[in-house]
Structure 1
Amino acid sequence: MTKTLVRATCPHDCPDTCAIHVTVENGVATEIKGDPDHPTTAGVLCTKVSRYIDRTYHPDRILTPLRRVGKKGEGRFEPISWDQALDEIASRLKPIAARDPQAILPYSYCGTMGLLQGEAMAMRFFHKLGASFLDRTVCATAGFTGYKYTIGGSIGTDIEQFQDARLIVIWGGNPIASNLHFWMRVQEAKRRGAKLIAIDPYRSLTAEKCHQHIALMPGTDAALALGLMHVLIKENLLDHDYIAQHTVGFEQLKERAAEWNPERTAETCGISVEEVVNLAREYGGTAMRGEPVAIRLNYGVQRVRGGGMAVRNITCLPALVGAWRHAAGGAQLSTSGSFPANRAALQRPDLLQGPRPRTINMNTIGDDLLRESSPGFGPKIEAVIVYNANPVAIAPDSAKVQRGFEREDLFTVVLEHFLTDSADYADIVLPATTQLEHVDAHLAYGHLYMMANNAAIAPLGESKPNTEIFRLLASRMGFTDAAFQESDDEMAATAFNNKDARAVHFDWESLKRTGWSKLNMPAAPFADGGFPTPSGKCEFYSSSMLADGLDPVPSYIPNYESVASNPELAAKYPLAMISPPARNFLNSTFVNVQSLRATEGEPHLDIHPDDAAVRRIADKEMVRIFNDRGSFVARARVTPKARAGLVVGLSIWWKKLASDGKNANEVTSQRLTDMGRAPTFYDTLVQVEKVEP
């Protein structure tokens, strides 16, 4: 028996990007563990990824190309050969491309975060084809944009420093479920005496374990940040030297914050005046004692109309109190901007010929698939190639998305491991490899390590890496450019720019051997200023925002849908709804792993006892959640974890695995955020009623 250990990397949409050891015996992966030497993974994998071998060898794995034989959505297919599949795809795409290649749309996101399997060869193919661009904004671009206006880029506190903070504010996230290795650092900080404060409408697993939980209403985070600024300025809890040297626009910020006294802030957020004042004093007072204060921002903050502004406002706080002076202070939304990824070399935008194609926003895919050709829109979408995504389950306003994919005149190709909700609507399904079966290079958005993934086993069945699938499609379409001949290793060798000081030590062959290598980054990135903004400073006043038609000073943008902002709608649908990730799923990945789904049980809706009593809903009864866009059913959990006026549906379930064939995205909206063209999943009003089983 031969037994080997292979260095790999978790590919999933999580800040942790864990280093993995895969044990392989006679060509079969038998064990998967966290790399004990990787400083952030520290030998620990989450519940989900620790089951990755179960997923790779799942009995429902697609191992041959498939052609649809039933109606769209039925999930009935017959196996065909790769030659048949590729010939059919090319025969359908060529006449569309001849008329207008913009009628072809890629749809992908972060089913894998790999720089190769996620984007490299696929983007080369679509650039050469001239297909419509996809605005890949379904997750975090609102916050990234607000953060960039203020800080200059997605750079923040190193996860390896957080254990030395004295106060940690976890704002809009549940790291126990979605950022486990950050939570391990937070627990160490707690053991060392740090205070933990969670700001979240929902009393999540994380909020339960913090010293304090502030349960504001969804979409009011920007107002809370302004209220904190008001108190910090009024009580002179400020680092005047840091403000003078490393910020611009303090006077304008001061004037705006004066409008947000604790009373107005508390009323807007649905919390107490004391919570506003005490949080500001805790944050500012700790910083004034020269102790590190850190904010871990997450994505729950930004999935509302004013989500970008909310992140901007929060990101102003560390500069006001000089928190960036400390390695363990400041803020982290994402570390992805620290990596000098060489995306032009990977994606080859130079392959695009002619004018830039139109852009389709992935959050409006429901409407866009149902549009006819028009001068303002361009050609009707005639073909969609889906990879690393499951739009029928994850895109907002799901009923429209489903109707779009039901179109008989829409040619749909899906690259997948399983027959997901989206794959059921495909004309052709192509079997893709999992992370254990291909090579990839990774950056991270929660730590500072360049990562390599080595293939641990040969591809199962007839599955192929995304890179190879798009090479084959390029060949069938007649693309002969040398860019389509490069191997995965050749592309990976260009993944990071080693002429950049941060990655001057990058060498792909060395990275494959070691598995990971840390960027050259200062311990405290903005201790002496040096922000990557136009001014080189933290911008309380942003000329770039003004040029883009936005308020250049932090402000509050109310939700599209809330009791305060839309009372007429709230009369029909009085409850706010959010749909954060379930602990055992990662977006819609892992939902079909039986052991993980069994732990989640079934779709649930958490509802406050007061809201349940008014509706005569008892614990464990089935309820219908609805608004003008649609409805879904779930089992009620009557609990104070959901604050009054709020219901929480942990997501994202495959629709086909829910009792009514629907999920929470039946009621979410295609409206976009204030900046970044991002989704507003948590900007949703609903009504809830009891239903008979």
Structure 2
Amino acid sequence: MKVLGACPLDCPDACSWEVTVEDGVAVGLRGNKAHPVTRGALCVKVNRYLEQVGSPGRIRFPMRRVGAKGQGRFERISWDEALGEIAERLGGIVEEYGGEAVWPFHGTGSLGYIQGAEGFAGRRFFNVLGASRHDMTICSIAGTTGLKYTLGTSGGMDPEDFAQSRLILLWGTNPMSSGHHLWKFIQDSGAYTVAIDPVRTKTAERCDEHLAPLPGTDAALALGLLHVIVSLDAQDERYIADNTVGWDEFRTRIAEYPPERVAAITGLPVERIIALGERIATTRPTAIRASQGMQRHDGGGMALRVLACLPGVTGDWAIPGGGLHYSTSGHFRLRTDDLLRMDLLPHPVRTLSMTRMGEALLDTDDPPVKALFVIAANPVGSNPDQRRVIEGLKRDDLFTVVLEHFSTDTVDYADIVLPATMQPEHLDVLAGYGHLYLVWNEPAVEPPGECLSTTETFRRLAQRMGMTEPALYDSDEDLARQLLKDHDMERLRADGFLKVDKPPVPAGALQFVSERAAQDGHGPLPGYTPPGDPGDGLVLISAASHYFLNSTFGSNPELLRRAGESRVTLHPDDAAALGIADGAPILVANSRGSFEARAEVSDIVRPGVAATTKGRWAKHNSGATVNATIAERDSDYAGGAVFHDNRVHITPR
């Protein structure tokens, strides 16, 4: 029997898949050939997903901590004991401190609308409790906000339209390792491809051209390219007159960034900037793919704001195969308000930032965080300032419940661990942020042991706490039906996927000058915000791994073997200056913390830049990872993270 499902992981592709089931056991997994983006192929990580599902290391029963926080020592308990203890502790905390002392911390381990982060699974329960709101600031929020200032929407072009492009700029993105299905449309186009990335990635190796700017200088580069376009009088005056606001002011801003100035900022040769600007000026349609990594610095939101202006100057927004693709999430019109039911909150509550977890846990504000629910997240492995996060989780007076599949770094600090179902074991609805398809996930097999879905966990907890609100007990199908009220749910369930209509982009006039940005205190004109780390040393960037997805698969034995030990890549000039040889053990450090790795000396990184990958678990890496060095600091817009705005010192060890 084959059952249609969908990959829940934090990837733009949200693949549709088929699970082969024999005698109640999932024995095969492959991409759905009928899905226009998946086209039958999964990635190197998800190809091993059934190994995760059936792993002997999987958590199958509720557990209670018996050792000190951080030791990872637990005893098995029953669900009745687990729910009873949670209900008692929560009741006491709410009575003494109020509901805002409870923080439901959602991660991107699942992007499902029913079981995962997109629908904030369990939010109805926490609303009735009066718990704090959780702000998902860690991934893409700065860029999303910047795009809305320019376009009125965070949704851009349909990624399938890349097949019609003649010039494609892959800006801070590496689809060969993260979201590889886009590459098929790029290949179909026959377009001239340019990778813009401080590292010569797997994708850059396959492109016609590679530019390696200094991290965090993307907005300056975009303004320099626009300067070249305008100096050639190649702007689309008709499109600008009919579809934009503020051109005269923005043109004055562009004039401030001649190629010579931009070369000094970005570290690129001036002739390369001019040549690419000339190519853009004369090639229609031009498409830009910019992903989340390029906006994880102090000027990240501004960078996306400027990038969205570029196809406005050239008129590419009006041409099929032209424009910019960052995330398609803004194009999905789903009834998330009906799903979340924020109206169940008894009163307004505070919002806690995902990116500032260490600060929030160590703060003595009234009320302090006294109870933490970690859902599909591994903040010890994924959050900035790893040392402070751990310090916060070690608090004796913090009651921590973790819903998980494996004994992650974060599980080691839990008081109660609850076994969670995995994707073939529960119902869910997904929406890709790299395409325009809703994807249905049908349960294929029964969960192992005593694993429960997130929704069922909170239904049972609500019952144990005596909550009477009927909405807390809606079934998964009820929740899906409420979410999909404006869509054909039965067709989606039968076919496995359903394409949604893309609204016009921009949504209204393109804002070269944004009054909304000015009202938010950011200034009306797009510009360039320099990197903000005041330290010296090398700039360390930590991009997605080819073998891990965030920290998911961080314990998979085969993927760990393929990834090898933790490495940091240095340019030969920097390695020579530091006295570091290829393969040498090194210590990477700054004022926030340090981690151990092995040096890889290669010219795939530009001078002044060191590169590693994210996703490793601290327990597999001498107790610390790259996130030990990253600041718990906000980017320019909406509290985004600054993972790539990070200066470090590297020494032999």
TM range (shorter): over 0.9
Deviations 1:79-115 (A, max 9, x none): 0000000000011110111121111111112110100
Are 2:503 and 1:515 equivalent residues in the alignment?
Answer: no
**Residue 28 of structure 1 aligns to which amino acid in structure 2?**
V
Give 1:462-481 correspondences, 5 Å limit.
462-481=450-469
Give 1:27-176 correspondences, 5 Å limit.
27-99=24-96, 100-118=98-116, 119=119, 121-176=121-176
SS at structure 1 position matched to 2:482: coil
- For 1:673 and 1:257, how far apart are their aligned partners in 2? 23
Are 2:603 and 1:636 equivalent residues in the alignment?
Answer: no
In structure 2, the CA distance between the partners of 1:121 and 1:297, relative to structure 1 (3 Å rule), is: closer
- For 1:665 and 1:47, how far apart are their aligned partners in 2? 24
Contact 2:158–2:502, Cα closer than 8 Å, also in 1: no
Q: Which runs of 5+ in 1 are unaligned?
A: 499-505
Give the TM-score normalised by structure 1: 0.93
Give 1:139-218 correspondences, 5 Å limit.
139-189=139-189, 192=190, 194-218=191-215
- For 1:152 and 1:444, how far apart are their aligned partners in 2? 20
In structure 2, the CA distance between the partners of 1:239 and 1:442, relative to structure 1 (3 Å rule), is: same
Are 2:520 and 1:548 equivalent residues in the alignment?
Answer: yes
- For 1:304 and 1:477, how far apart are their aligned partners in 2? 43
The structure 2 residue matched to 1:330, chosen from 323, 328, 333, is 323
- For 1:43 and 1:73, how far apart are their aligned partners in 2? 42
Contact 1:121–1:471, Cα closer than 8 Å, also in 2: no
Q: Which residue of 2 aligns with 1:363?
A: 355
- For 2:77 and 2:350, how far apart are their aligned partners in 1? 34
**Residue 69 of structure 1 aligns to which amino acid in structure 2?**
V
SS at structure 2 position matched to 1:117: coil
Shift of 1:252: 0.6
Give 1:284-433 correspondences, 5 Å limit.
284-287=281-284, 292-354=285-347, 356-373=348-365, 378-433=366-421
- For 2:485 and 2:521, how far apart are their aligned partners in 1? 34
- For 2:175 and 2:156, how far apart are their aligned partners in 1? 17
Give the TM-score normalised by structure 2: 0.98
Q: Which residue of 2 aligns with 1:616?
A: 579
Shift of 1:396: 0.2
**Residue 332 of structure 1 aligns to which amino acid in structure 2?**
H
- For 1:622 and 1:521, how far apart are their aligned partners in 2? 50
Deviations 1:431-454 (A, max 9, x none): 000001000011111111111100
**Residue 544 of structure 1 aligns to which amino acid in structure 2?**
R
SS at structure 2 position matched to 1:156: coil
Are 2:628 and 1:666 equivalent residues in the alignment?
Answer: yes
- For 2:638 and 2:272, how far apart are their aligned partners in 1? 31
Shift of 1:520: 2.5
Give 1:563-574 correspondences, 5 Å limit.
566=534, 569-570=535-536, 574=537
- For 1:162 and 1:131, how far apart are their aligned partners in 2? 43
In structure 2, the CA distance between the partners of 1:271 and 1:104, relative to structure 1 (3 Å rule), is: same
- For 1:325 and 1:387, how far apart are their aligned partners in 2? 42
Deviations 1:255-275 (A, max 9, x none): 111111101101001111112
Contact 2:424–2:445, Cα closer than 8 Å, also in 1: yes
Are 2:620 and 1:685 equivalent residues in the alignment?
Answer: no
SS at structure 2 position matched to 1:218: coil
- For 2:128 and 2:252, how far apart are their aligned partners in 1? 51
SS at structure 2 position matched to 1:105: strand
Shift of 1:559: 1.1
SS at structure 1 position matched to 2:253: helix
RMSD: 1.0
Give 1:577-588 correspondences, 5 Å limit.
577-588=540-551
SS at structure 2 position matched to 1:113: coil
Shift of 1:466: 0.3
Deviations 1:363-413 (A, max 9, x none): 11111111113xxxx311111000011011111010000111111111100
Shift of 1:496: 2.9
Shift of 1:497: 4.3
Deviations 1:190-233 (A, max 9, x none): xx3x1000111111111111111110001100111111121111
SS at structure 2 position matched to 1:116: coil
- For 1:554 and 1:370, how far apart are their aligned partners in 2? 36
- For 2:41 and 2:211, how far apart are their aligned partners in 1? 30
SS at structure 2 position matched to 1:176: coil
The structure 2 residue matched to 1:25, chosen from 14, 22, 26, is 22
Q: Which residue of 1 aligns with 2:442?
A: 454
Deviations 1:1-37 (A, max 9, x none): xxx1000001011010001010000000000000001
Shift of 1:336: 0.7
The structure 2 residue matched to 1:239, chosen from 224, 236, 240, is 236
**Residue 157 of structure 1 aligns to which amino acid in structure 2?**
M
Contact 1:120–1:467, Cα closer than 8 Å, also in 2: no
Contact 1:169–1:198, Cα closer than 8 Å, also in 2: yes
- For 1:55 and 1:20, how far apart are their aligned partners in 2? 16
Deviations 1:111-132 (A, max 9, x none): 1010000135411011111111
Shift of 1:154: 2.2
- For 1:335 and 1:542, how far apart are their aligned partners in 2? 22
The structure 1 residue matched to 2:555, chosen from 592, 611, 629, is 592
- For 1:128 and 1:480, how far apart are their aligned partners in 2? 10
Contact 1:232–1:284, Cα closer than 8 Å, also in 2: yes
Q: Which runs of 5+ in 2 are unaligned?
A: none
Q: Which residue of 1 aligns with 2:423?
A: 435
Q: Which residue of 2 aligns with 1:8?
A: 5
Q: Which residue of 2 aligns with 1:501?
A: none
Shift of 1:188: 2.2
In structure 2, the CA distance between the partners of 1:398 and 1:121, relative to structure 1 (3 Å rule), is: closer
Contact 1:102–1:131, Cα closer than 8 Å, also in 2: yes
- For 1:510 and 1:235, how far apart are their aligned partners in 2? 51
Deviations 1:620-647 (A, max 9, x none): 1110000000000101100011110000
The structure 1 residue matched to 2:616, chosen from 653, 676, 684, is 653
Shift of 1:675: 0.6
Contact 1:339–1:496, Cα closer than 8 Å, also in 2: no
Shift of 1:281: 0.8
SS at structure 2 position matched to 1:177: coil
**Residue 578 of structure 1 aligns to which amino acid in structure 2?**
I
Deviations 1:23-52 (A, max 9, x none): 000000000000001100000000111111
Contact 1:196–1:212, Cα closer than 8 Å, also in 2: yes
Contact 1:308–1:675, Cα closer than 8 Å, also in 2: yes
Contact 1:144–1:676, Cα closer than 8 Å, also in 2: no
Contact 1:175–1:206, Cα closer than 8 Å, also in 2: yes
SS at structure 2 position matched to 1:341: coil
- For 2:371 and 2:502, how far apart are their aligned partners in 1? 44
- For 1:553 and 1:520, how far apart are their aligned partners in 2? 31
- For 1:663 and 1:688, how far apart are their aligned partners in 2? 14
**Residue 515 of structure 1 aligns to which amino acid in structure 2?**
G
